[in-house]
Structure 1
Amino acid sequence: MAISYTRLWKLLIDKGMNRSQLRDAAGISTNAIAKFGRNEPVSMETLEKVCCALDCNIEDVVEFVKNGEVLNNG
């Protein structure tokens, strides 16, 4: 299984936000945004900050997918 943040990018589009705006609203680092773009693991604290900033649940931003189904969004 692998991590995918495709749902996060779709949610940002729906909310009319870009990555920089998310970074500022959630108070997370540029490095965390880069990890999202590479579908790499981030801390639960980072996910919590993103969910609070976007007023959503964790399943709205991250999902586990079969290894062959992961697409890079970076």
Structure 2
Amino acid sequence: MGYRYNRLWKILIDKEMNKVELRDAAGITSATLAKLGKNQNVSMEVLGRICKVLECDIGDIVEYLNDTKEEHLFE
């Protein structure tokens, strides 16, 4: 199970906003921004702040990735 934030980076490009501007506007740390860049887990609070700044929904910035091993457990 994992998450990918490629949608977030696309929205930033579309809005002509860079990562530092997002960090400052959302009030998140550089460490949290680095976690997003590495597709690591971040808190829902952080994702909510990002959504507020970008005026979008969480599904617009995060993609859930299913682990294929888990899928086989339920077949």
The one-letter code sitting in structure 1 at the alignment partner of 2:8 is L
Runs of 4+ that moved beyond 3 A:
none
Q: How does 1:10-21 map to 2 (within 5 A)?
A: 10-21=10-21
1:57 is matched with 57
Instruction: Give a deviation string over 1:31-69, Cα, whole Å, max 9, x none.
Output: 11000000000000000000001000000100112458x
Give the number of equivalent residue pairs.
68
3-state secondary structure, aligned to 2:22: helix
2:41 is matched with 41
CA RMSD of aligned residues (A): 1.3
3-state secondary structure, aligned to 2:39: coil
The one-letter code sitting in structure 1 at the alignment partner of 2:10 is K
Unaligned runs of 5+ in 1: 69-74
- What TM-score do the two structures reach when normalised by structure 1? 0.86
The one-letter code sitting in structure 1 at the alignment partner of 2:50 is V
- What TM-score do the two structures reach when normalised by structure 2? 0.85
3-state secondary structure, aligned to 1:35: helix
Q: How does 1:2-13 map to 2 (within 5 A)?
A: 2-13=2-13
